[in-house]
């Protein structure tokens, strides 16, 4: 019997993000190239004698009830499988919140995975993804992880080859944006064909394993909305490029900006500049990480 599971819930960045339209049910049809990064939350799951689900987080402003996606993920499986025992979830957040890095979705994905193992539900990853999408469009991808093309509302996933490893500098300005509001603003905009990223072109470069060419195809249709409203996003991108980033862009609906570096020393220097130097007024949270690729590492496997 598994009494305790320790999990890592990894964040993501979007190397490309396109919105194809809005469906009558309000969901948006998207086409996105997703990449998991090493920056992760930590989740401990403990089986308890006392029935029910309890959640404790290290951030006072995050909900510790059904409002939290991690809680909701456990509740979904508890209800479906009539689990009578108890579960205590300890969540320590490191992924910036409301940042465009799927922080909540990846916590939910890890809890689905963990509860499945802990209580011997024997659901396949595909079956977990089908349950995950009911809670959030990015959850199936957070279960899959690695490099992938995400289509539909996020439930149609195609694995892509791993991109050559590099340093990923992540900087979140001290603003929070609502994903819902960004999509609403995009709906009101008149987009031209050239506003859409060349996702097929990026996939071709990924298959060729050419990091520079992949970075040359960066594009995020939501950047027009968020970066238009907050010039600090463009300023962080410019600073990262000045510091030697191959390219820099906003992730998801923002406001987090990421830059890819092939030179570790330049990446460390850029980190210092944003954290303590002349860029310290631009970003509130700064992290230096890399790509998390499936099959390359045992990180993230649960420890009993």
Site residues for ligand ATP per CB under 6 A: 62-63, 68-70, 97-105, 107, 138, 179, 252-253
Report the residue number, 35 or 243, with the smaller CB distance to ligand ATP.
35
Question: Rg of the chain over CA atoms, in angstroms?
Answer: 19
Report the residue number, 107 or 237, with the smaller CB distance to ligand ATP.
107
137 labeled part of a ligand binding site = no
CB neighbours of residue 165 within 10 Å: 13
106 labeled part of a ligand binding site = yes
Is the distance from CB of 90 to CB of 46 less than 8 angstroms? yes
The least CB distance from residue 183 to ligand ATP, in Å, is 10
283 labeled part of a ligand binding site = no
Q: Cα–Cα distance between 235 and 239 in angstroms, integer? A: 6
Residue with tokens 């659901």: 123
The least CB distance from residue 107 to ligand ATP, in Å, is 4
CA neighbor of 99 nearest in space, from 181, 172, 33: 172
CA neighbor of 141 nearest in space, from 17, 10, 258: 10
Report the residue number, 101 or 211, with the smaller CB distance to ligand ATP.
101
Catalytic residue among 18, 41, 107, 138: 138
The least CB distance from residue 78 to ligand ATP, in Å, is 17
Active site residue 12: yes
Report the residue number, 101 or 239, with the smaller CB distance to ligand ATP.
101
The least CB distance from residue 146 to ligand ATP, in Å, is 17
Q: Cα–Cα distance between 90 and 254 in angstroms, integer? A: 27
19 labeled part of a ligand binding site = no
Q: Cα–Cα distance between 118 and 149 in angstroms, integer? A: 30
Positions annotated as catalytic residues are 12, 138
Specify binding-site residues for ATP: 96-106
């Amino acid at each position: 019997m598994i009494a305790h599971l320790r999990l890592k819930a990894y964040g993501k960045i979007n190397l490309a993000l396109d919105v194809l339209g809005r469906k009558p049910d309000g969901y948006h049809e998207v086409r996105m190239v997703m990449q998991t990064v090493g920056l992760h939350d930590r989740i401990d799951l403990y089986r308890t004698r006392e029935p029910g689900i309890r959640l404790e987080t290290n951030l006072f402003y995050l909900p510790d009830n059904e409002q939290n996606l991690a809680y909701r993920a456990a509740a979904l499986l508890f209800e479906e499988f009539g689990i009578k025992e108890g579960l205590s979830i300890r969540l320590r957040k490191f992924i910036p919140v409301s940042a465009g890095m799927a922080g909540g979705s990846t916590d939910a994905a890890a809890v689905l995975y963990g509860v499945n193992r802990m209580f011997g539900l024997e659901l396949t990853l595909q079956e977990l993804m089908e349950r995950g999408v009911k809670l959030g469009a990015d959850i199936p991808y957070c279960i899959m992880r690695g490099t992938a093309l995400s289509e539909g509302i996020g439930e149609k996933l195609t694995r892509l080859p791993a991109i050559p490893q590099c340093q990923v500098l992540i900087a979140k300005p001290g603003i929070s944006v609502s994903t819902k509001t960004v999509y609403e603003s995009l709906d009101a905009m008149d987009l031209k064909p050239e506003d859409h990223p060349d996702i097929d072109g990026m996939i071709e470069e990924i298959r060729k394993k050419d990091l520079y060419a992949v970075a040359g195809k960066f594009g995020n249709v939501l950047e027009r909305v968020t970066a238009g409203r907050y010039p600090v996003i463009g300023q962080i991108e410019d600073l990262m490029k000045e510091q030697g980033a191959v390219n820099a862009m906003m992730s998801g609906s923002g406001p987090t900006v990421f830059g890819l570096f092939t030179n570790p020393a330049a990446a460390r220097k850029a980190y210092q500049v944003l954290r303590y130097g002349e860029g310290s007024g631009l970003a509130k949270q700064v992290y230096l990480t890399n790509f998390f690729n499936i099959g390359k590492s045992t990180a993230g496997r649960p420890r009993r």
